[in-house]
Chains A and B, each alone.
Chain A
């Protein structure tokens, strides 16, 4: 089932357009700082090892989805779509990093993915109004509808 879903978000045929020029990885801000495997290698792994292997890898989550790789790809491969599709598939198989899990839990509880009460102090120090309240119920509804709710067990 996951296979079908994955290739619905990214046309598998597009993988073959890649000739490994590495312009994408050269443009990747995450690659510069983290031991990731970059867009080029992601495509190569999908082709040669199969997407199953890629989906199991925690390094998949190091991408910051800035889409610069996609902008500079000479073959106009929608790499961003591929990464989102792979992550969706990974999440369904339980490959979700803890920090992300915490962020989603926070989101469900407070409506924000970060703890912000320290921020409020800073804001008042600078004479700014406190942050406006967040419609937490609406966000919970969104989490439920998107299915993220059930994956993370909020």
Chain B
């Protein structure tokens, strides 16, 4: 055998790999026979020592690795334990502190991908664990030390959304001394909290505690407030994002003193969105009294001058400061930022679709948001609770819970705030008009927070009646506008028929309808409910998978004001860490072009999602700009000359893994290429959820499915793999700017080839699995395993022979 040297200068027969098989208590040890796996690992080529331990991630576990590196001169470390998405940083830093380059560590995922998903088959799980360790050892042998690039972090931040979460995040970062751009789509900051009358459980006046914070934002020297603004484009990466922001025309200059002289003159009337459409405003208006900036604006859609001709100048004439500027135009602003906090908030569920409740048809059926405006002193009725049909105070009021929540007809999740909001609202009514009869129809009252149960008990004692069972139907008396609720009291098992004056639907909250645009610009994944997905549900709850982008408030999931503020401060603090350090290390997984092999054809530059490859045919070369390269590896399979290599995910490393995975009984195996962000995480999630699936799958991780080379698929089929699964993020959810569209193109081309050669196309499958779709991953594996049973070993062998003959011929001719 030819003696091979690698860039470390370590010759292959000098390899000293240390293997550590973790029991993880009973998590792995309860299913996989870890001692047996460790003994097996000791027999593998290059392995100098092999041990099993109860908790490798514990302090003694890490000390063991460190001392072995020093004592035995280990030059590679393999840890077989949980997913690398959890503890890779832990073991990397252990290696580093013992003087070993952190990129010489490799992990075998024998928990999420093995013990947890094959709980009832100890033999199969142990065999699979051996395979996974063998794959990891072979990859470890090919690893090379890498050195991370340090990129500067610009000490400026962008906050998207000016609700309470955005306000808190902006203030925290500005107070720490960093320049903050707060981008708000509407004309004033304040968000949902400004619309609410009181907050639970303390019954504070919402706008009274919010307004001081809003004006603080308005006058803070470090905050630049951009209202009526929307992000158009985001480029760049952690540390240096570039944003294009469209700032819409306000038609009123900053000099406006909000005197209101103009409003009296304006002839145009429209429903007031801030009051949930319960009152009217003029085309020139200020959103609400406490608005920041305290400047009027003209709603150009409603103004008589919307055709570009000045047909009416009554506001202009009325303004003594001459602040009206009909010539104002939209502007495009460019902003640079090191970090971004996303606090875009939520929409409110529209119950019109639930026709049996009559919302929109019966005037006295209103939503909780409309109720908040009705009972607010600054609202359309100056705080008098009146019913819309006849403006008379209702004597009997019913609240209906879970409207638009916990339902397949709307949103499946619990909206988190509606129970407490209703209890608060019922107490507000009792406070002002104690003789009002109040009925709350509920399924479960969820009073889980601090002080919540006290408030619930107080409401019961104040005489609010809680009835378990949501009415099936609301009837209206057309003459009086009174309403009748039909339903069942499930605790008594009795039917009820209750007449009330007014019904308040406790509507749920849902993700912003137009969150998709921002989601694509920032490459943020969303969970199955449509909210932005955090990087880790427990340990990185405000981070996203996009470096330098953090989440705050209800955009991440339904939450109340306190939780929004807590999360906003956490997000600001995470962003502050980056900005105060001023630099950040980016993983050394970039692509590199070998100038000797490169023919300057430019194919790679065309598929790069980040325009990180520069050069031209004329100049005769192409090269990768390392700071801009995000490490998806999509360019690598595109090169016909093998001139590109992705560090830490090299051709040799992956091919080694393929060969080892298919060493025994390849025809029974499914080889899966899973992208790091979605599919590998999805498989992890299947493990965490203990979803059992067939044990014949072997997973190889790449950063993006765009890295999967058709050569690998071919290799797997030549080696006689029963099936090959290429799995990535859903289209448009790709973490590398739709790099996975190249995956589709390549797989489709391979299918055509298979068809031509007469190979069963079902053996290659392309599946989109998101990080939240553990069950989907398990289902795909289940289906592929079923499909495999229809194939004979003979067929698979014939296909592989034919493919290898063709390959041999091809290499001869070239």
Contacts and interface: CB of A to CB of B under 8 A. Distances in A.
Interface in B464-481: 468-473
Nearest to B487: A26
A21 B405 CA distance: 12
A76 B412 CA distance: 11
Nearest to B410: A74
20 contacts: A21-B443, A21-B469, A21-B470, A22-B470, A22-B472, A22-B487, A23-B471, A23-B472, A23-B487, A26-B470, A26-B471, A26-B495, A27-B472, A27-B473, A38-B488, A40-B488, A41-B493, A68-B472, A74-B407, A76-B408
Closest 7 CB pairs of A and B: A26-B472, A27-B472, A74-B407, A26-B487, A22-B469, A25-B488, A22-B488
B292 to A, nearest CB: 40
Contacts of B470: 21-23, 26
B488 A75 contact: no
Contacts of B471: 23, 26
Contacts of A69: 472
A136 to B, nearest CB: 41
A41 B409 CA distance: 21
A149 B472 CA distance: 38
Interface string A2-44: 0000000000000000011111111110011000001011000
A33 to B, nearest CB: 10
Interface string B399-437: 000100011111000000000000000000000000000
Contacts of A25: 469, 472, 487-488, 490, 495
A59 interface: no
A101 interface: no
A72 interface: yes
A31 B488 contact: yes
B443 A75 contact: no
Contact of A27 (B406, B408, B468, B486): B486
A43 to B, nearest CB: 12
Contacts of B390: none
Interface residues of A, number: 21
B41 to A, nearest CB: 42
Give the interface size bracket for B toward A: 20 to 34
B469 A26 contact: yes
Nearest to A20: B490
A138 B81 CA distance: 70
Contacts of B468: 22
A75 B410 CA distance: 10
Interface of A: 19-28, 31-32, 38, 40-41, 68-69, 72, 74-76
B748 interface: no
Contacts of B409: 74, 76
A75 B407 CA distance: 5
Interface of B: 356, 402, 406-410, 443-444, 468-473, 485-490, 493, 495
Nearest to B408: A76
A113 B473 CA distance: 32
A47 to B, nearest CB: 14
Nearest to A27: B472
Contact of B406 (A38, A41, A74): A74
**Interface-central residue, B406, B443, B487, B489, by most chain A CB under 10 Å:** B487
B402 A21 contact: yes
Contact of B443 (A20, A31, A41, A72): A20
B473 A26 contact: yes
Q: Which of A20, A26, A41, A74 has the most CB of B within 10 A?
A: A26
Contacts of A32: 486, 495
A46 B444 CA distance: 21
A107 B82 CA distance: 68
Contacts of B472: 22-28, 68-69, 72
B543 to A, nearest CB: 33
Nearest to B405: A74
Contacts of A24: 472
A24 B470 CA distance: 9
Nearest to B474: A26
Nearest to B356: A72
A98 to B, nearest CB: 26
A38 to B, nearest CB: 6
Nearest to A33: B495
A138 to B, nearest CB: 39
Contacts of A19: 406, 443-444
A113 to B, nearest CB: 29
A23 B444 CA distance: 14
Nearest to B485: A26
Contacts of B469: 21-22, 25-26
Contacts of A28: 472
A101 to B, nearest CB: 29
Contacts of B486: 26-27, 32
A31 B505 CA distance: 24
A74 B488 CA distance: 16
Contacts of B443: 19-21
Contacts of B408: 74-76
A49 to B, nearest CB: 14
Contacts of B490: 20, 22, 25, 40
Nearest to A22: B469
A81 B487 CA distance: 22
Contacts of B489: 22
A74 B745 CA distance: 41
A69 B485 CA distance: 16
Nearest to B402: A21
B558 to A, nearest CB: 17
A69 B470 CA distance: 13
A26 B493 CA distance: 11
B776 to A, nearest CB: 17
A26 B488 contact: yes
